[in-house]
């Protein structure tokens, strides 16, 4: 398992992973174009991928312009292996090394992603009209080692409870 910075030539595989997910599915796959991905990777922020046997199986992209997590997805066959958590942590460490502005994201309610973000220390700040939940993470909360430790413990517990 290798984690590295995402590059423009990774976009076809990033799109493949994005379209493979079973939750938080795009209503119209054309809503997120290759040009969008390129802009978020090169102008607005930065991204990372996880590779297994030279195949991209997960990715994350942070947006410094809107202070937003633009994407964090893992292909279904590679879920529950710690890939999402590692991408999450790499991304937030990078984000907060560049700004102290709080970062936000939104995800569909009643999904494993909602539980993941709650366990990782994100705080719900609003329910949006599209039935998504808005979460925020602050610099102080992320840099607090107790949150990271709690997140690691909670995710291990959460993952083991899913296997039961």
Quote the tokens at residue 21. 């997910």
Number of Cβ within 10 Å of residue 133's Cβ equals 21
Q: Is the pTM of this model over 0.75?
A: yes
Residue 23 has a pLDDT of 66
Please give the Cα distance from 37 to 92 (Å, whole number).
19
Given a cut of 50, whether residue 161 has pLDDT beyond it is no
Place of tokens 């790499």: 90
Q: What values do phi and psi take at 70, rounded to 5?
A: -80, -35
**Can you identify the CATH homologous superfamily of domain 2-163?**
Gcn5-related N-acetyltransferase (GNAT) (3.40.630.30)
Given a cut of 80, whether residue 127 has pLDDT beyond it is yes
Number of Cβ within 10 Å of residue 153's Cβ equals 11
Model confidence at 24, pLDDT cuts 50, 70, 90, reads: low
Residue 147 has a pLDDT of 56
Given a cut of 70, whether residue 63 has pLDDT beyond it is yes
Where is pLDDT greater, at 106 or 21?
106
Given a cut of 60, whether residue 37 has pLDDT beyond it is yes
Percentage of the chain with pLDDT > 70?
82
Please give the Cα distance from 135 to 103 (Å, whole number).
8
Would you say how long the chain is, in residues?
A: 164
Q: Could you tell me the end-to-end alpha-carbon distance of the chain, in angstroms, rounded to an integer?
A: 25
Could you read off the pLDDT of 134-155 as tens digits, one per residue?
A: 999 999 999 886 555 544 444 4
- Asked whether 70 and 61 are in contact (CB, 8 A), the reply is yes
In order of 38, 69, 109, the CA distances from 63 in angstroms are: 12, 6, 22
Q: Please report, for the chain, the start and end positions of each structural domain, with discontinuous segments joined by +.
A: 2-163
Residue 20 has a pLDDT of 81
């Amino acid at each position: 398992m290798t984690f590295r910075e995402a590059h423009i030539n990774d976009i076809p595989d990033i799109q493949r992973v994005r379209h493979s997910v079973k939750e938080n599915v795009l209503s119209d796959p054309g809503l997120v174009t290759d040009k969008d991905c390129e802009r978020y990777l090169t102008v607005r922020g930065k991204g990372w991928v996880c590779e297994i046997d030279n195949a991209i199986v997960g990715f994350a992209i942070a947006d410094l312009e809107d202070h937003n997590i633009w994407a964090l997805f893992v292909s279904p066959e590679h879920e529950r292996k710690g890939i999402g958590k590692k991408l999450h942590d790499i991304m937030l460490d990078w984000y907060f090394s560049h700004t102290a502005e709080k970062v936000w994201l939104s995800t569909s309610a009643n999904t494993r992603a909602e539980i993941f973000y709650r366990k990782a220390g994100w705080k719900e700040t609003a329910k949006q009209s599209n039935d998504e939940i808005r979460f925020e993470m602050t610099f102080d909360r992320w840099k607090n080692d107790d949150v990271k430790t709690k997140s690691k413990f909670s995710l291990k517990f959460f993952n083991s409870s899913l296997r039961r």
